Structure 1
Amino acid sequence: MRIYVNEIKITDDSILCYTEESIEGLQEAGQMLVDSDNHAFAHILDNGESYTYLIFVQETWSMLHENKGKKIIVNDTLELTEFNNELTYILENIKGNSNYGKEFVSVVEDTFELE
Structure 2
Amino acid sequence: MRKMVQINEITFNNENAMMLIIENHTLNLANCHEVGTMIADSDQSSLLYIIEENEEFVYVTVPVEYWPEMKKAYDLKSEVFLQVGEAKFPLENWQNELTFLVQNVDGNFNYGEEFVKQIQSVFLEEK
Normalised by the length of structure 1, the TM-score is 0.93
RMSD over aligned CA atoms reads 1.4
The superposition leaves residues 77-115 of structure 1 with CA deviations (integer Å, 9 ceiling, x where unpaired) of: 100000110010000000010110000000110011258
Moved over 4 A (4+): none
Contact in 2 for aligned 1:95/1:114 (Cα 8 Å)? no
Identity, in percent, stands at 27
> Unaligned regions of 5+ residues in structure 2, if any?
none
Higher helix share: 2
Counting only pairs closer than 5 Å after superposition, residues 6-85 of structure 1 correspond to structure 2 as 6-11=8-13, 12-20=15-23, 21-24=25-28, 25-68=31-74, 69-75=77-83, 76-85=87-96
Shift in Å, 1:10: 1.2
Which residue type is aligned with residue 95 of structure 1? D
> Unaligned regions of 5+ residues in structure 1, if any?
none
Contact in 2 for aligned 1:17/1:73 (Cα 8 Å)? yes
